[in-house]
Amino acid sequence: MVENPYEIPQFARLAQALYFNTGLHMSQIQAIDAVIDYRRSADVPQPFFIVDPVAVGATEYRTDQIQYLIEQGRPDLIKGNASEIMTLAGRAGGGKGVDSSPKGAEESVEAARVVADKYDCVVAITGGVDVVADKPSVSQRVGRVSQDVKMLTKITGSGCAVGAVCAAALTSSKGDPFLATVTALAAVKQAAREARHVAEGPGTLGVAILDKLYRLSLSPDSLDCTTVTIDDPAAAAAAEAEAEAAQQESDPVEPADENDKTGGQGEGESPGKSKENGQKA
């Protein structure tokens, strides 16, 4: 963890991810400009940049500084709770505290999409159901990670730790920060769920989560993906079009009706003979 703004450029060159948690103690105020200057540099390696807008909306000064950091720093991921993302989306009801949340999941999805579109980055909302919106210039995917562990709200800094896990996951994202973020949130939820069975309270829960995350890192195939859903409108539309095309190819072509060729006469009859027969009748 770097607090000295003069060290940021050197450490950023060594890092694969730069996670800015805006607790905003005094050294961080200077760090904002240091990070922005580094992000503007074209001749230096750029690690993934993650911003956790802690308590944005609580005060005017804090809100201005965080918005300035996001607008000028151009993060790859913004991770916050519902209240924080609602504030960045310009929605009423944001900024009521770091553990506040909107009324429904769909409200969270809409807020995440607004912020993702505003800053063109991946946006994650953590809560009872985590919501992740992809960078709009990449896709319109929305991920949801269920499985609420309510005791997590009793651990100070649990959201900050989640941001650190997301930052670590982005370094292994293989060019897909959205899937990396969804995976990180699913891992934290699973670790918290398993840790809850052995923890006696919030104090031991925090330690147990670290142990469970460690065990999960040793065996990533054990990640429970049943708590994850991803809506991908583009993929759904492509799958639908492919299914329609396959259906058209598999539909048999019916042979032409011989009656259509003869105007409805019986087989072997000619128009002249038919007319003659009609006159005799």
CATH 3.40.1190.20 fits 5-237, yes or no: yes
pLDDT, averaged across the chain? 86
In the structure, what pLDDT confidence band is assigned to residue 104 with cuts at 50, 70 and 90? low
Cα atoms in the Cβ-side hemisphere of radius 13 Å centred on 41? 16
The answer to whether 90 and 77 are in contact (CB under 8 A) is: no
Looking at per-residue confidence, does 241 or 7 come out higher? 7
CB environment 38-48: b (16+ within 10 A), e (fewer): bbeeeeeeebb
| 264-to-243, 255, 257, 276, 279 alpha-carbon distances in Å | 38, 16, 10, 16, 18
Looking at per-residue confidence, does 97 or 146 come out higher? 146
**pLDDT number for residue 242:** 76
Q: What is the pLDDT of residues 113-135, one digit of tens each?
A: 999 999 999 999 999 999 999 99
Which amino acid is it at 33? D
C-alpha–C-alpha distance, residues 132 and 193, integer Å: 20
Q: In the block, which residue shows the tokens 């991803």?
A: 230
In the structure, what pLDDT confidence band is assigned to residue 254 with cuts at 50, 70 and 90? low
Q: What is the pLDDT of residues 148-168, one digit of tens each?
A: 899 998 998 899 999 999 999
The answer to whether 181 and 169 are in contact (CB under 8 A) is: yes
Q: Lowest mean pLDDT of 5-19, 94-108, 254-268, name the range.
A: 254-268
Structure tokens of 71?
Answer: 């607008």
Give the domain ranges of the chain.
5-237
* Residue 133 falls in which region: left (phi positive, over 0), alpha (psi -120 to 50) or beta: beta
- Tell me: pLDDT of 178 over 90: yes
Q: In the block, which residue shows the tokens 């840790």?
A: 195
The answer to whether 131 and 105 are in contact (CB under 8 A) is: yes
The whole-number average pLDDT for the span 242-248 is 77
**pLDDT number for residue 228:** 96
The answer to whether 21 and 59 are in contact (CB under 8 A) is: no
- Tell me: pLDDT of 262 over 90: no
**pLDDT number for residue 96:** 53
The whole-number average pLDDT for the span 51-65 is 94
In sequence order, the β-bridge partners of residue 122 are 77
In sequence order, the β-bridge partners of residue 17 are 48
C-alpha–C-alpha distance, residues 205 and 259, integer Å: 81
| 136-to-64, 179, 186, 234, 281 alpha-carbon distances in Å | 24, 14, 22, 12, 77
In the structure, what pLDDT confidence band is assigned to residue 275 with cuts at 50, 70 and 90? very low
Q: What are phi and psi of 94, to 5 degrees?
A: -80, 165
**pLDDT number for residue 274:** 45
**pLDDT number for residue 136:** 95
**pLDDT number for residue 78:** 98
Q: What are phi and psi of 255, to 5 degrees?
A: -65, 155
- 228 in helix, strand or coil? strand
